[in-house]
Amino acid sequence: MNMHTNQFSNFLEEGESIEWIGKAAPFSFFDSVHKQSLTIRWVICLLVAVGATVAYLLSTAQTGAAPMMPIVAFLIGVPLFAAVRPFLDARSIKKHLVFAITDRRAITCKGGSDFFAIALDESTPVKFIEKAGGVGDVLFGDATGRKIHKLRIPALFPQTFKDEGKPQAGLIFYNVGEIENVKEALERRTNVA
């Protein structure tokens, strides 16, 4: 099928075959859904970093103690990481997630070694969120019933839909190109919404 097929060979069950395989299509980091929330996040992170650092430095100045640089680094580093994380998540989706539809399951492979799968049968709900340019998001199982405003995080961390000791309950294929090919691969066995 393509160069990503080998990633799944050790994860497939005996007799299981891949019907479709793909990655997220290129997407804008500042799409309409994320633009406002990212701006707010960055402003809050900046205010927290500056406010916490100033408060710490003022408290050390009042007591006469020398400021401890590891604490200052922590007070700046944590909000900085929170501000940068959306970039890292988007990069990971683009570079490290591969999606597959088999004759039995929907599978997400993260980084070539972490696999998440949900069984596909007649009762598995599937929802398509179509976007411009022939791309879209595909939601499986429990992901179809939840109101998920921003899909990047649960797509990157499918364990969001897994309870301890239970099988994977939902998956999201984020910004999939060739959405029509995914629909064709799924049409035969699922409740497509």
Cβ-proximal residues to 67 (8 Å cutoff; 6+ apart), any chain: 56, 57, 60
Give the rounded percent of residues in the chain with a pLDDT score beyond 70: 81
Mean predicted confidence (pLDDT) in 111-123: 85
Closest listed residue to residue 185, CA positions, set 153, 138, 117: 138
Determine the pLDDT at residue 28: 66
Chain position carrying tokens 């999939």: 176
Q: What is the CATH number of the domain that holds 177?
A: 2.30.29
165 vs 126: CA distance, rounded Å: 23
Residues 15 and 104 placed together within one structural domain of the fold? yes
User: Residues 74, 142: one domain?
Assistant: no
Flag whether pLDDT at 9 surpasses 70.
Answer: yes
Cβ(176)–Cβ(108) under 8 Å? no
**Whether residue 150 sits in one domain with residue 71:** no
| Average pLDDT of every residue of the chain | 79
Q: What is the pLDDT of residue 32?
A: 60
Higher pLDDT, 189 or 128: 128
> What is the rounded average pLDDT of the residues 14-27?
84
Based on the domain organization, do 14 and 39 belong to the same domain? no
Given this model, what pLDDT does residue 80 score?
Answer: 79
- Choosing from 43, 75, 91, the residue where a domain stops is 91
Domain endpoint, select from 45, 69, 91: 91
Write out the DSSP string of 14-58.
TT--EEEEE-BPP--TT-TTTHHHHHHHHHHHHHHHHHHHHHHHH
Question: Tell me, what's the pLDDT at 149?
Answer: 59
Residue 87 three-state SS: helix
Residues 71 and 149 in one domain: no
Q: Check residue 64 and give its pLDDT.
A: 80
Identify whether residues 134 and 152 lie together within a single domain: yes
Q: Do residues 85 and 40 share a domain? A: yes
Residues 187, 107: one domain? yes
Mean pLDDT, rounded, for 78-83:
80
Structural domain that includes position 127:
5-27+97-192
Domain count, the chain: 2
> Is residue 68 located within the same domain as residue 82?
yes
Give yes or no: residues 83 and 49 share one domain: yes
